[in-house]
Amino acid sequence: MISPQLAALTSGLPGSRVVNVRNPQVDLLILGAGPSGCAAAICALQSGMTVALLETQAAPRPSPGETLHPGVEPIFRQLGVWDSIVQCHFHRHRGIWRESGGLRVFEPYGSDQHGPWLGFQVDRAQLNRILRARVADLGGSITHVAHLVGVLKNQDAVSGVRAGGQTFDARFVLDATGRHSWLADKLGLIAEKQSPTQRLRFGWSKDDLPELDAQPLFRQRKDGWHWLCPLGDGRCAWVELRHGPSSWGSEYTCRIYRDCAGPGYFLLGDAACLMDPSAANGVLRALMSGMYAMHLISVVVQRVATPLQAASGYKQWIGDWFDHASRTLRHLWAEANSTEHTFIPLTSIMQERGAYVKNHHQWRYS
């Protein structure tokens, strides 16, 4: 085995070729430094575990902004990034306009004695920087590798990966590679699709849209939907989703890996299940999946539960979320195709997600 020090000294010499560098075993190996990966890393570092966080992208890919339900606040606080989120002055909104058949209705999130509940319209690149900075503050670091190569196994359990000429050994491997689901592909896991073929595209415009009063709009169509969100700076973020096969946009068909956890591994966020963005609240789900996987790993390490029990609990948690959203959307799309005046109660779906956060977040405080 070539030590990292020797590899660093010899890698620049003429004719030298480092075959492999084997890194010390860590408790947690996380593939991907997006929201789910960083959330898992933060929780692991807070609990004193050792972490290796791998990222293949030199810079975050462009992605649509994320509309977050007010229920995300306790999660940001638990991760220790709430102050940084507030300092970014992301645009806040009171609720969502929904439109179908030419009719438009505003649905507020709600209010209490302190005033209206406010959601966030976050910039994904900024959010990633905040989460990565928190990882660094806790003593963690991100290793950039050119590409992930292969999976290591100890008997039937995942025990690490080969990446960029290095070997990374770990007690647990967490796949946070998003909808690419790198580990699922390498393990030969079967994806279950539960929606018609869908295509998605997104972008930004300079439209001010004063008629929206700085609140986002969800416009339902028989063949999909259109999302508009004022950013508070004279720009508007937009996302469109269409049903049916075509060359339009990027493929975004809903699917789930039912075996999203197993011996030595967990799939996080979109790597575990890809859901319709109108009901999924992707960043919220990504953060929660990283935190919940970390909680289950902690109870395994503490011998409170077996690895099999932890994997089973995680699979049920992901499956329940996916199945509920799928049933709701199938019912609503069926109604939408029978009348032009059916509304998708988007804030109701998002409020359910917020209630789900509140009810299923207790493991962080128990």
Number of domains in the chain: 1
- pLDDT for 276 equals 84
257-310 pLDDT tens trace: 999 999 999 999 999 999 888 776 788 999 999 999 999 999 999 999 999 999
Residue 273 to residue 155: CA distance in whole angstroms? 27
Residue 106 to residue 217: CA distance in whole angstroms? 9
Tokens for 160?
């690490």
As a three-state string, the secondary structure of 278-308 is: HHHCHHHHHHHHHHHHHHHHHHHHCCCCCHH
Residue 44 to residue 25: CA distance in whole angstroms? 15
Looking at the chain, the number of H-run helices and the number of E-run strands are 11, 24
Tokens for 227?
């999302």
Question: Is 1 part of any domain?
Answer: no
- pLDDT for 206 equals 87
Question: Is 13 part of any domain?
Answer: no
40-81 pLDDT tens trace: 999 999 999 999 999 998 766 666 668 898 989 999 999 999
Question: Is 220 part of any domain?
Answer: yes
Length of the chain: 366
Q: How many CB atoms lie within 10 A of CB 25?
A: 14
Residue 205 to residue 223: CA distance in whole angstroms? 23
- pLDDT for 195 equals 67
105, HSE (Cβ side, Cα atoms, 13 Å): 12
3-state SS, residue 293: helix
pLDDT in single tens digits along all 366 residues of the chain? 333 433 333 333 333 333 467 777 899 999 999 999 999 999 999 999 999 999 998 766 666 668 898 989 999 999 999 999 999 999 999 999 999 888 899 999 999 998 999 999 988 889 999 999 999 999 999 999 999 999 999 999 999 999 988 999 999 999 999 989 999 999 999 999 876 788 888 888 888 788 999 999 999 888 888 999 888 888 888 999 888 777 778 888 889 999 999 999 999 999 999 988 877 678 899 999 999 999 999 999 999 999 999 999 999 999 998 998 888 777 766 666 665 444 444 444 444 444 444 444 444 322
Which amino acid appears at position 78 of this protein? Q
Residue 212 to residue 98: CA distance in whole angstroms? 11
Which amino acid appears at position 164 of this protein? G
Tokens for 119?
């959601």
- pLDDT for 94 equals 94
Question: Is 239 part of any domain?
Answer: yes
Question: Is 16 part of any domain?
Answer: no
Residue 219 to residue 295: CA distance in whole angstroms? 38
- pLDDT for 164 equals 82
- pLDDT for 157 equals 95
Question: Is 15 part of any domain?
Answer: no
- Sequence-ordered list of residues with C-beta below 8 angstroms from that of 183, at least 6 positions apart, any chain: 31, 151, 158, 173, 175, 177, 265, 267, 271
The candidate with the shortest Cα–Cα distance to 240, out of 92, 60, 104, 64, is 64
Which amino acid appears at position 103 of this protein? L
CATH number at residue 296: 3.50.50.60
Question: Is 262 part of any domain?
Answer: yes
Residue 295 to residue 286: CA distance in whole angstroms? 14
- pLDDT for 32 equals 96
Residue 189 to residue 343: CA distance in whole angstroms? 36
User: Could you tell me the residue range of the domain that residue 279 belongs to?
Assistant: 23-364
Q: How many CB atoms lie within 10 A of CB 112?
A: 7
Question: Is 100 part of any domain?
Answer: yes
- Sequence-ordered list of residues with C-beta below 8 angstroms from that of 135, at least 6 positions apart, any chain: 33, 38, 41, 42, 45, 53, 141, 142
